[in-house]
Amino acid sequence: MLRYLLNKERFSWALYDWANSAFWTTVVAGFFPIFFKSYWASELDGPSSSAVLGSTNSIAGFCIVLMAPILGTIADKAGAKKNFLVFFALLGIIATGSFFFIPSGYWITASILFGVSLLGGSGSNIFYDSLIVDVSDEKKRNIISGFGYGLGYLGGGILFIFNVLFYLYPAWFGFENEVQAILVSFLTVSIWWFIFTIPLFINVQEQKPSTKTDRLISSSFKELVNTISNISKYKNITIFLIAYWLYIDGVDTITRMSVAYGSDIGLEASTMITALIVVQFIAFPSAIIYGYLAERYGQFLFLAIGIVAYILITINSYFMETARDFYTLAVAIGLVQGGVQSVSRAIFSKMVPSDKVAEFFGFYNFVGKSAVVFGPALVGWVAYLTGDPRNGIFSLLALFIPGLIVLLLVPKSK
């Protein structure tokens, strides 16, 4: 099996997760929200800057939702998945590297480039996911997929640790202060992302399309409509996807907005960054253990337990005051985050008819990407309109509780 995974083409494909995860860990979940508030948007109050961050995340997510079905179909039928991946990766790489050059106070410029970097990261992942069919056979696809996830956790975590050390001990690395350390960290993410994308570009061979490439845009919409029509025939899948859209939005929003929230309630940046490392290295083994327990004792049961855990995390976040509280919640998130994601995918895979796996999983990914459109804006704008960031984070119950209720309504029969 190790020989299969270390095949040059398959390893090069999986290595893109190693490359891309550094952006999601260091930039999106870690440094950007803190630095945006304290450096680029220091003239704004906490709720206002959170509203800007939430809106930027949501707008970028909405753009991806609009583009994904069109670009996905074009890439499939024109044999251009790898080219699209490289284009979006370079878009994200250049935008991320540009953070280094943005002066203090330029929050509009920073938020625009952040949105562009999110487009690059999310857009490249669409085509990275779809290239798995070009590098693996169907029977071993779950293995290569898990290998990619594993490299992502590892690679993102390794660079994040170095970036955190830059921030905590800038003098060790010859930096003048914490500001310079964080700006250089953005630059290292850009370089890391670029270097580890090169093997995929060189070694992954995309299969030639077998269909004509005319009228690609119109055919992409027709295929999306046909997929929705096909899925609606399966009551259990339809209800599950509604539940998934709700609760996964809450999960992703906590990942993207937790540091901004912690900053608004007065927690030290070093506390929150250290807590993110805790999440990173608890999530991977926990996902494996969680998946094993769910397989043995019931996947729906453990998915419901995970959502209940997020409801309790949200409620406790409202009352959070100390660094110890933040660490406790970080451990709790690490224990259930990967499990909720992996068990959701496993449940869906068992519902899908064997002759519609590719079609239905494409829509599953589309639902997951569209979910992030609502949550960040909800948190940011509730905090802004009420003047209290605690109300913003508490609003996520409007996603988790309905998500749990709808999940319980899913018929368990195939």
String of DSSP letters for 90-125: HHHHHHHHHGGGPPTT-HHHHHHHHHHHHHHHHHHH
**Residue 389: which of 319, 327, 338 has the closest Cα?**
319
Question: For residues 145 and 143, what is the distance between their CA atoms, to the nearest angstrom?
Answer: 5
Q: Tokens for 119?
A: 């487009």
The pLDDT, as a whole number, for residue 142 is 60
- pLDDT at position 217 is 61
For tokens 């049961």, what's the residue?
301
What per-residue confidence (pLDDT) applies to 204?
A: 86
**Domain range list for the chain:** 8-204, 223-414
Average pLDDT of the segment spanning 329-339: 86
With a CB cutoff of 8 Å and minimum separation 6, the contacts of 125 are 20
pLDDT greater than 60 at residue 275: yes
C-alpha dist (Å) from residue 126 to 69, 84, 122, 262, 366: 10, 9, 7, 31, 9
Could you tell me the pLDDT band of residue 109, with boundaries at 50, 70 and 90? very high
CATH architecture group of domain 8-204:
Up-down Bundle (1.20)
User: What percent of the chain lies above the pLDDT cut of 90?
Assistant: 32
Average pLDDT, the chain: 84
pLDDT for position 391: 92
Q: What is the DSSP letter of 99?
A: G
Burial classification of residue 156, based on how many CB atoms lie within 10 Å of its CB (0-12 exposed, 13-18 middle, 19 or more buried)? buried
Q: Are 262 and 326 in contact (CB under 8 A)?
A: yes
pLDDT of residue 406: 95
Task: Report which residue type is found at 59.
Answer: I
DSSP letter, residue 209 = P
| Amino acid making up residue 169 | Y
The per-residue pLDDT for 165 is 92
Instruction: For domain 223-414, give the fold.
Output: Growth Hormone; Chain: A; (1.20.1250)
Residue (of 15, 11, 142, 129) closest to 75 by Cα position: 129
Exposed, middle or buried by CB within 10 Å (0-12, 13-18, 19+), for 270? middle
CA distances, 362 to each of 65, 141, 246, 339 (Å): 12, 15, 18, 21
Residues 6+ apart with CB under 8 A from 45: none
Question: Which pLDDT band holds residue 357 (cuts at 50, 70, 90)?
Answer: low
Cβ-based burial of 236 (10 A; exposed 0-12, middle 13-18, buried ≥19): middle
In angstroms, the Cα distances linking 124 to 14, 57, 212 are: 13, 16, 24
